[in-house]
Amino acid sequence: MNIYVNDQKLDASLNEEKTLRDVYDAVDQWSRNQNHYIMNLLVDNQEVAPSRLDDMELETVERLDFTVADHDHFIVEAAHELDRYLDQVGSFLFQKEYLSESQMKDLMEGYEWIDQAVHSLAGLLNLDLENLVVPLPEGQVSAPIAHTMNALKISLESLASSVEQGKEQTEELETVLLHMRPIKSMSMRLALQLAAQSAGMEELGEALEKFESRLPEFKQEIISINESFQSGREGEALENLDAVIEKLQGFMSCLFALEARCKSSGMEEAEVDGMKFSAAAAEMMELLKDLSSALEENDITAAGDILEYELTEKLDMIRPFPEVLRNFVVASK
């Protein structure tokens, strides 16, 4: 069997490794000794989760391809991968009424991957999952992520029982999605913050100032997209809407990163007219999630409603915070 790491053949032979899991653990330890981490594994050109290695025969495998990365790169990519996967699972389960046994098996394996990813990120970032909570829309705060993960596991086990017995599954599916929501909120915030972590405070402030200066133009673009939807030009509208979401995510990335830097420098949580930054940001991120879900479900009506009635309102709500943060940066020089 040939083993490759980042497309380079590993000059090593199997000694005590008797299973594929043993091989994976050996490469994992070797990588960690060099402050690198496994990001992906291909078994004979097929992507395979580590949890499946125990069920695979070592003798039948011809080639293993490992992708590894250094500590900082691994953390950023791991956060983005977790966020993307949660998006995929949420979109798949949304408005589902029942699952097949094979789909339920995939979902349980997916939970194991989510659990591993969450705990890996927590270890690398020194996050205390027993006390880590995330803001939710309308000023709410989640239960600690460790408790949420346990509640998600229990809800999945209940769903699996209903699938096995052929019972109604709608309520269990809704409960699973409910418990996924805080985990998704955490992963989205982590991914956005880590993506912007390499920029300095002044750079982040300049990026936000540039966005603010284009806000009137941006709002007009949103109105034009909604008009395209109403006029039946859905293809054009969807393409432009993708660009809008990308711009907003970039804006929120800078905003989260700058707020985190300001707080680490001694600033209290930003607040405008009684609205805390965490609550305002949570509402905006939830709206972006709803907008993305509407696109994935090809729900033009829902996307149009968000654009017409909610998005510009949320932009007005979030607009004062960049100036508050920039003023702190200037004052702290």
pLDDT, tens digit, for every residue of 49-86? 787 888 888 888 889 999 888 877 788 788 888 888 88
pLDDT tens track for 165-180:
999 999 999 999 989 9
> In terms of pLDDT, which residue wins out, 154 or 16?
154
| Crossing angle for the helix pair 145-165 and 170-195, to the nearest 10 degrees | 140
Task: Give the residue-averaged pLDDT of 113-138.
Answer: 84
Class of domain 201-331: mainly alpha
Measured CA distances, 45 to 22, 40, 59, 267 (Å)? 19, 11, 16, 50
CB 208 within 8 Å of CB 254:
yes
For residues 276-296, give the mean pLDDT. Answer: 80
Q: Which residue has the higher pLDDT, 129 or 196?
A: 129
Dump pLDDT digits (tens) for 203-258: 777 777 877 787 788 788 888 888 888 888 877 777 677 677 767 777 777 777 77
The confidence score (pLDDT) of residue 14 equals 64
How far is the C-alpha of 267 from the C-alpha of 325, rounded, in Å? 9
Mean pLDDT of the chain: 83
| Count of C-beta atoms within a 10 Å radius of residue 175 | 17
Residue 227: exposed, middle, or buried by beta-carbon count in 10 A (0-12, 13-18, 19+)?
A: middle
> Residue 69 is encoded by which pair of tokens?
């990365």
Work out the number of other CB atoms within 10 angstroms of the CB of residue 253: 21
pLDDT score recorded for residue 281: 84
Residues 6+ apart with CB under 8 A from 73: none
Q: Determine how many CB atoms are found less than 10 A away from the CB of residue 280.
A: 23
Q: Which is nearest to 39 in space by CA: 24, 55, 19? A: 24
Q: Which two tokens stand for residue 161?
A: 């029982």
**Is residue 196 predicted with pLDDT exceeding 70?**
no
Instruction: Identify the pLDDT of residue 199.
Output: 61
Q: How many whole angstroms separate alpha carbon 130 and alpha carbon 147?
A: 7
Q: Is the pLDDT of residue 202 over 80?
A: no
Task: Give the lowest-confidence range in 47-56, 193-202, 260-269, 285-294.
Answer: 193-202
Going 148 to 153 to 154 to 156, the CA torsion angle's sign is positive
Give the CATH fold of the 2-70 domain.
Ubiquitin-like (UB roll) (3.10.20)
Checking if the pLDDT of 138 tops 50, the result is no
pTM of the model: 0.57
Return d(Cα 124, Cα 117) in angstroms, integer.
Answer: 11
Q: Is the pLDDT of residue 268 over 90?
A: no
Quote the CA–CA distance of 194 and 77 in Å, as a whole number.
9
Taking the C-alpha atoms of residue 218 and residue 244, their distance in angstroms, rounded to an integer, is 8
The pLDDT value given to residue 158: 95
pLDDT digits 0-9 by tens, 295-311:
667 677 888 888 878 88
The full set of domain ranges for the chain reads 2-70, 73-195, 201-331
Confidence band for 183, pLDDT divided at 50, 70 and 90? very high
Q: What is the mean pLDDT of residues 119-124?
A: 88
